[in-house]
Chains A and B, each alone.
Chain A
Amino acid sequence: MMLVTVNGDPLEVAPESTIESLVELLGCGRRGVAVAINSEVVARSSWATTWLAAGDQVEVLRAAQGGC
């Protein structure tokens, strides 16, 4: 297993994990979700071909109520 940080918490994922598999693991659906790795936003079209590396800081974001 490989250790990454997802939304501030440590998470063990399988080696060869992609963003796609991480989003699936989190069970939050794909719709309205965005992912950044080490402060770089990853295009949705690249999720399946972007592999996680040990120590990656991953942010998985989605719509929340907001506005002045």
Chain B
Amino acid sequence: MDDPFEIGGTTLSSRLILGTGGAPSMDILESAIRASGTDMVTVALRRVVPGVAGSVLDVCERAGVRVLPNTAGCRTAREAVLTAQAAREAFETDWVKVEVVADDRTLLPDTVELVDAVEALADLGFIVLAYTNDDPVIAMRLAALGCAAVMPLGSPIGSGMGIRNPYNLAMIREQLTVPVILDAGIGTASDAALAMELGCDAVLAASAVTRARHPEIMAEAIGLAVRSGRLAHLGGRIPRRLYAEASTTSVGLPEL
């Protein structure tokens, strides 16, 4: 079935974006990337280690996936803009996933700083994907500022708590015209399927894969769940009803 997924005019073949944080080794990360079927992964920027030339970029290149830089660890709009500018130089891409978090315990988005960062980055010509909370109002604001995609969380980063507010997510999907990518909180395959069934255009998973007992197997499971959930969304679920509705007609029922 032809079901292209576009962000900022670029077509992606998979609706799963993989975060690379937390993998126990580069080899395991590479097999997980391949098993997931993704064609875009996120990477962060950190200080170089003198004398060490290799990096996660080599893994991305070998696996043939696009790199989406993020601003993980930034607390202010200023830091996020500088990090995005550094990422543009490092990776030669205008794409950036903007994360501005409020504190270490919740890692919840600081949406005041986020909106400032997105405004500045859109002005600087970046293709901005914004990590945000599940607030439909902020999601609308971010889309209005020119985000190429809005990425609401399901639950806090790395919590594996799944989708805590499916109704807000459905509202966000209904109100926005840009892609909505469920970001953060995925714990297992069914969470990813639910996100897609709710109408999300894509899912980002990291810890659910990289910290799983068997990352490669979980990567495949979540890749399939994203695909399955997307098809279920397109297929159209039946309405929920309290009482049963027989699928077999009562016409011609014999009197025994």
Determine whether the beta carbon of B206 is less than 8 Å from that of A41. no
Contact flag A28-B90 (CB < 8 Å), given A61-B47, A67-B21, A68-B158: no
Per the CB 8 Å criterion, the residue count for chain A at the interface is: 27
Interface of B is mostly: mixed
- Least Cβ–Cβ distance between B65 and chain A, in angstroms: 12
Q: How far is A60 from B51 in the complex, measured between Cα atoms in Å?
A: 13
Contact indicator A68/B204 (Cβ below 8 Å): yes
Which listed residue, A27, A67, A68, touches B53 by the CB 8 Å rule?
Answer: A27
**Residues of chain B lying within 8 A (CB to CB) of residue A66:** 19-21, 42-46, 70, 72
- For residue B91, which residue of chain A has the nearest CB? A32
Q: Which residue of A lies closest to B29 (CB)?
A: A65
Centre residue among B56, B70, B86, B210 by max chain A CB count within 10 A: B86
Best-buried of A32, A34, A39, A61 by chain B (most CB within 10 Å): A32
B45 touches A61 (CB 8 A): yes
Q: Is the CB of A36 within 8 A of B70?
A: no
B225 interfacial by beta-carbon distance below 8 Å: no
B126 on interface, CB distance cutoff 8 Å: no
- B→A interface (CB under 8 Å): 18-23, 29, 41-53, 55-57, 67, 69-70, 72, 82, 85-91, 131, 153, 157-158, 183-185, 204-207, 210
